[in-house]
């Protein structure tokens, strides 16, 4: 009996020795763990819809990638999601955790512009590549060479908006109700510069705070100024209340808006008041098989379709995953700088949003779309850009 027990123990020990990981000199294990990537956005609070929709896309991309075997068919990618609640302070504590404790090699997000400015400074210093699907302020990518975006810059959006409102819609005067944050104010300033360069005039600009519920004072002042149209470059919650309160005040002036209006939640919140709104949003591309598959997979998994920012997040995540794969195959590890360099070298990537290329500064090379809402259905008006100060329709 003792002899049998000795033989069994010997065989177990031998198996453990054979199965044990191989160590290099000095005791360092040669095996490589799968990489970690982060996502941050508002997952709770008034603006959770933006963060949840984007996070769904990131999870979907990672799940699909891991289902195929992960990096080199053997290393799964781990996603770590952080809730910023739309707050700069929460964003900074999130990136501290993701960088120092979780040791991520890349970040998708943040979702909001203000948070992206703060987090962008941190990732630049840490050497972690960041791809935001929705931070549009023109200066975001000026932070440094580790900051990219898969959304069109406010610079182009503002230029197209101002020119289109003047040249195509025929408005000579515009009133503005914007929020005091980087996103909204950046769009207001960009549209104003373009609109006035075209020959129009912003006759009144009223401000609010993010989270405000009552806009009647500002709307009453704008009504008195009697502009041809009212521009609302805000978040969904504010825009919904602005539209409803404008109706209550008897304002019949047409409204124009920004890419924030492309979030379908606006129709749940203010569907009685959205008819006729014209807004600048993502350029519409010919629906590809990849896009149709993405929407079908997303809807089947989450019970709701993606918005434009969520679609951008899916492409951004897949760009990160492709970079991780490339770097690991070339070096056998996940160096943060090498991952950044691989993303910067992106050339004609075929994503669900169309062909993705980055300008040297990390901006997405893209165009803008114009939409007009028919009750609660956005109808496409065309694709535009601005070349040498002139509005150009892209066929």
Alpha-carbon span 345 to 193, nearest angstrom = 33
Q: CA distances (Å), 111 to each of 60, 133, 180, 249, in order?
A: 17, 7, 17, 33
Contact between 109 and 120 (Cβ < 8 Å): no
Left if phi > 0, otherwise alpha if psi is -120 to 50, otherwise beta: which for 371?
Answer: beta
pLDDT of residue 31: 52
Alpha-carbon span 305 to 183, nearest angstrom = 24
- Decide: pTM greater than 0.85: no
Whether the per-residue pLDDT at 6 is higher than 90: the answer is: no
At residue 179, φ and ψ (nearest 5 deg) are -95, 150
Contact between 366 and 154 (Cβ < 8 Å): no
Residues whose CB falls within 8 Å of the CB of residue 287, separated by 6 or more in sequence, listed in order:
none
N- to C-terminal Cα separation, the chain: 85
**Residue intervals in the chain for CATH 3.40.50.2300:** 36-152+286-356, 155-282+368-393
Residues whose CB falls within 8 Å of the CB of residue 235, separated by 6 or more in sequence, listed in order:
47, 50, 179, 183, 184, 210, 260
Residue 341, burial from CB neighbour count under 10 angstroms (0-12, 13-18, 19+): middle
pLDDT of residue 32: 63
Mean pLDDT in residue range 120-138: 96
Architecture of domain 36-152+286-356: 3-Layer(aba) Sandwich (3.40)
pLDDT of residue 33: 83
Per residue in 31-77, pLDDT tens? 568 999 999 999 999 889 999 999 999 999 999 999 999 999 999 99
Whether the per-residue pLDDT at 26 is higher than 60: the answer is: no
Write down the mean pLDDT value for the chain: 91
Query: Of 138, 140, 139, which Cα lies nearest the Cα of 110?
Result: 140
Contact between 78 and 34 (Cβ < 8 Å): yes
Left if phi > 0, otherwise alpha if psi is -120 to 50, otherwise beta: which for 330?
Answer: alpha
Query: Of 125, 123, 127, 120, which Cα lies nearest the Cα of 143?
Result: 120
Q: Residue 379: which pLDDT band, with cuts at 50, 70 and 90? A: very high
Which CATH class for the 155-282+368-393 domain? alpha beta
Contact between 124 and 147 (Cβ < 8 Å): yes
Q: For residues 32 and 103, which has the higher predicted lDDT (pLDDT)?
A: 103
């Amino acid at each position: 009996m003792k002899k049998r027990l000795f033989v069994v123990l010997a065989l177990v020990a031998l198996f453990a020795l054979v199965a044990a990981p191989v160590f290099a000199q000095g005791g360092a294990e040669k095996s490589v763990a799968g990489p970690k990537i982060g996502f941050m956005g508002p997952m709770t609070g008034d603006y959770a819809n933006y963060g949840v929709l984007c996070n769904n896309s990131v999870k979907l991309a990672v799940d699909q990638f891991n289902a195929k075997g992960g990096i080199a068919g053997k290393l799964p990618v781990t996603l770590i999601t952080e809730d910023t609640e739309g707050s700069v302070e929460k964003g900074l504590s999130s990136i501290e955790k993701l960088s120092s404790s979780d040791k991520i090699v890349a970040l998708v997000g943040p979702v909001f512009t203000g948070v992206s400015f703060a987090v962008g400074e941190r990732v630049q210093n840490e050497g972690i590549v960041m791809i935001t699907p929705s931070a549009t302020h023109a200066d975001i990518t000026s932070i440094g060479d580790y900051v990219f975006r898969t959304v069109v810059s406010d610079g182009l959006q503002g230029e197209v908006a101002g020119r289109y409102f003047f040249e195509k819609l025929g408005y000579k005067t515009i009133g503005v109700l914007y929020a005091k944050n980087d996103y909204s104010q950046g769009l207001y300033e960009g549209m104003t510069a373009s609109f006035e360069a075209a020959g129009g005039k912003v006759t009144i600009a009223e401000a609010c705070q993010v989270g405000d519920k009552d806009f009647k004072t500002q709307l009453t002042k704008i009504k008195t100024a009697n502009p041809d149209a009212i521009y609302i470059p805000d978040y969904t919650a504010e825009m919904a209340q602005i539209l409803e309160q404008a109706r209550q005040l008897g304002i019949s002036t047409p409204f124009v808006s920004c890419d924030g209006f492309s979030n379908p939640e606006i129709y749940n919140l203010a569907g009685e008041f959205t008819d006729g709104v014209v807004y600048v949003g993502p350029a519409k591309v010919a629906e590809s098989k990849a896009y149709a598959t993405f929407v079908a997979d997303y809807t089947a998994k989450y019970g709701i379709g993606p918005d434009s920012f969520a679609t951008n997040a899916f492409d951004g995540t897949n760009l990160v995953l492709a970079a991780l794969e490339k770097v690991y195959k070339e070096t056998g590890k996940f160096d943060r700088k090498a991952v950044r360099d691989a993303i910067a070298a992106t050339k004609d990537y075929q994503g669900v949003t169309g062909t993705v290329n980055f300008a040297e500064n990390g901006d997405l090379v893209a165009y803008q779309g114009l939409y007009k809402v028919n009750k609660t259905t956005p109808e496409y008006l065309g694709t535009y850009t601005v070349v040498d100060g002139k509005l150009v329709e892209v066929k």
